[in-house]
Chains A and B, each alone.
Chain A
């Protein structure tokens, strides 16, 4: 290792040894969870496919004008999963669709969890008016029908991937805020926070150096779960026609299936692949997130 010149027991080395040990412990506990491992394996495969698809599948297959197949043909020959209303391969569309779902799902989840973490930490750390207002706002957004709000936001803003990420991110943060607030409240009663205050630590110092690292594991598990619901929201918005029309997405595929009469024609091969793809990816994130949660959430650990 390159850190050989520094003494073994320097604070940094000790901290890293401890972190590695903690990580190893988390991994061992996670690996003991069969469904969590299954979710992780599925995720690795999906992410690999989504990232590498431009390398082995030409973008041409997405072109409506240069489609080679028959219109709405059932699975046969070169088209393993049949063709869509324009004669494109459903398999190719489904593989390409993974990219936008992952991109939007992960970005929106990170945005939503970031907002939720900040609001949750602030509403627990500060008392009085700040906390009251933040809690009021959180409770307000918690009960609102998030999808309807997201629909309104994406109608008001310019169409595009950024808008969808924003619309999902700013409407789905309240449950994270609740969770982080509860965790922050428990942490802030611990003596080491009092010690930090006594040594003259300001709000920023206590929040960023002591509270944040302590809530981070929980936030990580929550993010994994949030990606799943963000992907469902993304496909729903695309299905309602609010997606980016220039990219292929699973929700968009299902929308065209309904709009072009593939559903009433009973074209099951056009309906099943995108749907199963969504279910698989969401299930993978959910299983992973639940396994992480059991390992990392102190409240669930006893069980």
Chain B
């Protein structure tokens, strides 16, 4: 093995990974690498979805039988045939992959409807909730984080960092319950559940929009409050890294106002690592959506996942896992591609 000389190589080369190695990498090659990596990840999601549900010890057939108390031999055979479990594993896998590529995610046990259809109905509601929360959290986190770093050690810094840390330690679902008790039950300001008033509202599309926003407010604020902390911390620490940079001294020496130095010079440089983290932690936002949607009965993918637990509805659970994981991977892929055009360092590297 030729491992020994390898250990004496400068760490920097391995450290930067793919990014540093391909000096003068062309855009096409960069995109090909990223897209290839994304494709592998998506394939891994599909494989994971298959093996989690077919090869695990507590396999679906057994727990369905346990749930019914007893089952005749014919019934077991019928269930196995329904899920094609009487065939060899690799035929099952080929069938499963074929179905997946055609967009067929099986039939839900609970709803007796195609899983893909159920997910399609709920998908945009989750996007609305997580998208709103994410935008609010990013805006709040970047704003507070950059100000905290700019005056680090100040009272503002200590308070905003402290508040963020406390909120970060709060379980999302508990904050949701508290909001529900205070603002919906106690003050009666917001609806307790759902996305629209049952029976609809009169007054045209604008009234309907207001109605949805009214229902959206509490769940979105709950999610924002929990997730903005990480953006604040990342923005703060990456701006702290830039604080003593020479270009800031130059900017100040030119006589620029302090706010301008921060906004035009320091923040754009500190923004890039922050954006990476935002996309990298997208899975966390999706995880938060599961509990928030449960607390506020928001009919999205998270609630669908929750509803699948109790039955347990394996095809539905498998479908939501695959769709949520794939969505996160695609978002990350987009971030990588956009990065290429935004960050000059990546472009020339």
Contacts and interface: CB of A to CB of B under 8 A. Distances in A.
A189 interface: yes
B282 A143 contact: yes
Given A189-B10, A193-B7, A236 B291 contact: yes
Interface string B41-60: 10011000000110011110
B159 to A, nearest CB: 13
B325 interface: yes
Interface in A234-279: 235-236, 239-242, 251, 254, 257-258, 263-266, 268, 271-272, 274-275, 278-279
B181 A152 contact: no
Contacts, number: 161
Interface residues on B, range: 35 or more
B185 A152 contact: no
Interface in A111-149: 124-127, 135-137, 139-140, 142-149
A145 B56 contact: no
Given A240-B290, A275-B171, A283-B166, A143 B41 contact: yes
B171 A278 contact: yes
A144 B7 contact: no
A20 interface: no
A301 interface: no
A182 interface: yes
Majority-rule SS of A interface residues: helix
A125 B329 CA distance: 27
Interface stretch (A59-67, A68-76, A79-87, A153-161): A153-161
B324 interface: yes
B171 A236 contact: yes
B310 interface: yes
Given A286-B165, A286-B169, A155 B317 contact: yes
Contacts of A155: 308-309, 312, 317
A205 to B, nearest CB: 13
Nearest to B310: A241
A264 B3 CA distance: 64
Given A136-B40, A145-B284, A240-B309, A263 B185 contact: yes
Majority-rule SS of B interface residues: helix
Given A148-B324, A148-B325, A264-B185, A235 B171 contact: yes
Nearest to B328: A143
A151 B280 CA distance: 20
Given A149-B321, A156-B56, A279 B169 contact: yes
Interface in B1-23: 3-4, 6-11, 14-15, 17
B10 A157 contact: no
A239 B41 contact: no
B15 A152 contact: no
Contacts of A9: none
A50 B291 CA distance: 27
A188 B7 contact: yes
Contacts of A268: 181
Contact of A152 (B52, B165, B169, B171): B52
A186 interface: yes
B287 A147 contact: yes
A29 interface: no
Contacts of B165: 283, 286-287
B37 interface: yes
A230 to B, nearest CB: 12
Given A240-B291, A271-B177, A278-B170, 4 more contacts: A146-B283, A147-B287, A240-B290, A279-B170
25 contacts: A144-B45, A145-B286, A148-B287, A148-B321, A148-B324, A151-B290, A151-B309, A152-B317, A155-B312, A189-B8, A203-B3, A236-B171, A236-B172, A254-B173, A263-B177, A263-B185, A264-B185, A265-B185, A266-B186, A268-B181, A271-B177, A271-B181, A279-B166, A279-B170, A286-B169
